[in-house]
Amino acid sequence: MRKLIFTVIIFIFLLTACSQPPVEPTVAVEGTLAPNETIAATQSVEPTEAVIPTATAIPLRSLTVWTDPALPTMLLDQVRMLPAAASQDEAALKLGLAQNSADDVEWIYALAAPFSSLLDTMTLADLEDAWQGLQEPSPVIYLESATLRALEPLLGAPDSNVQILPADEILAAAWDTPGALALVPFEALEPRWKVIALDGQSPVRNDFQATAYPLKAYFGWQGKEEALAALQLAVTDGEFPQLTSNRDPSRMTVLIMTGVTALVRATAVKMEEKGMTYPGEAVRDWLINADLTHISNEVSFSPVCPDPVSYPGPLIFCSKPEYIELLDDVGTDIIELTGNHGVDWGRDALAYSLNLYRQRGWAYYAAGEDVFQAREAVTIEHNGNKLAFIGCNPAGPEFIWATETQSGVANCDYPWMWERIRQLTAEGYQVIATFQYFEAYRHYVEPFEERDFRSMADAGAVIVSGSQAHHPMAMEFYQGSFIHYGLGNLFFDQMHRGGLIPDATRKEFIDRYVFYNNRHISTEILTAMLEDYARPRPMTAAERYDFLTEIFAVTRWGDVP
Are 197 and 209 within 8 A, CB to CB? no
pLDDT of residue 500: 61
CATH number of the domain within which 99 lies: 3.40.190.10
Task: Say if 549 falls within a structural domain.
Answer: yes
Q: What is the chain's Cα-based Rg?
A: 35
**Beta strands 430-435 and 385-392: pairing type?**
parallel
288 and 339 within one domain: yes
pTM above 0.95, yes or no: no
274 and 414 within one domain: yes
Domain-terminating residue out of 247, 280, 312: 247
Task: Say if 194 falls within a structural domain.
Answer: yes
301 and 240 within one domain: no
230 and 127 within one domain: yes
435 and 290 within one domain: yes
Residue 223 above 90 pLDDT?
yes
Q: Per residue in 124-134, pLDDT tens?
A: 999 999 999 99
Structurally, how many domains does the chain consist of?
2
Element (H, E) at 261: strand 260-261
- SS3 of residue 452 by DSSP: helix
Task: Say if 181 falls within a structural domain.
Answer: yes
Residue 327: name the closest of 200, 490, 202 by CA: 490
- Give the Å distances, CA to CA, from 561 to 384, 420, 478, 557: 29, 30, 11, 10
Residues 6+ apart with CB under 8 A from 453: 435, 437, 464, 466, 483, 485
Residue 476: name the closest of 465, 488, 460, 490 by CA: 465
Domain encompassing residue 180: 54-247
Task: Say if 21 falls within a structural domain.
Answer: no
Q: Per residue in 344-361, pLDDT tens?
A: 999 999 999 999 999 999
Task: Say if 3 falls within a structural domain.
Answer: no
Element (H, E) at 222: strand 216-223
Domain-terminating residue out of 184, 216, 247: 247
Which residues, in sequence order, are bridge partners of residue 66? 94
Residue 263 above 60 pLDDT?
yes
CATH number of the domain within which 326 lies: 3.60.21
Are 204 and 514 within 8 A, CB to CB? yes
Q: Per residue in 276-288, pLDDT tens?
A: 999 999 999 999 9
DSSP assignments along 173-194, one per residue:
HHHHSTT-EEEEEGGG--TTEE
Domain-terminating residue out of 247, 282, 308: 247
194 and 303 within one domain: no
Q: Per residue in 424-457, pLDDT tens?
A: 999 999 999 999 999 898 999 999 999 999 999 9
Task: Say if 544 falls within a structural domain.
Answer: yes
**Beta strands 334-336 and 363-365: pairing type?**
parallel
Query: Starting from the edge strand earliest in sequence, which strands make up the sheet with 463-466, in order?
Result: 378-382, 385-392, 430-435, 463-466, 481-484, 475-478
pLDDT of residue 90: 92
